[in-house]
Amino acid sequence: MTKLDMYPIVVLEDRYSGAYSGGLWIAVAEGDKRRRMDEVWAGAHGDDITAAEWAQNMPEWVAVGGSPNDAVRNLHNKLVLNATEEK
């Protein structure tokens, strides 16, 4: 994935303050895709059990961080830098 493929990035505050996801903020690549946002909303912002299960199986197009900038940086590292290293 290239850097441009990630945009637009949507950043949301984690409902459970990172208790399950490990980050206070959630960054979502290609956040204009309704299905992705529906999945994040239902998973990360669901009930305790749903949020815990979602966090354990977090999609590759999602990253978390302690701040909005950290979440976006982690998403970039996860998608762009890892893809570059795998080539």
Rg (CA), the chain: 12
pLDDT of residue 1: 62
Read off the tokens for 46: 């669901």
Establish if 41 belongs to a structural domain: yes
Inform me whether the pLDDT recorded for 87 exceeds 70: no
Domain that holds residue 49: 4-82
Read off the tokens for 50: 């749903």
Establish if 70 belongs to a structural domain: yes
Confidence category of residue 5, pLDDT binned at 50, 70, 90: confident
Establish if 72 belongs to a structural domain: yes
Q: Report the domain count for the chain.
A: 1
pLDDT of residue 67: 98
Establish if 87 belongs to a structural domain: no
For 27-70, the pLDDT digits (tens) are 999 999 999 999 999 999 999 999 999 999 999 999 999 999 99
In 45-81, alpha helices (H): 48-56, 68-76
SS3 for 3? coil
Q: b/e per residue, 56-84, with b = 16+ CB within 10 A? A: eebeebbbbbeebebbbebbbebbbeeee
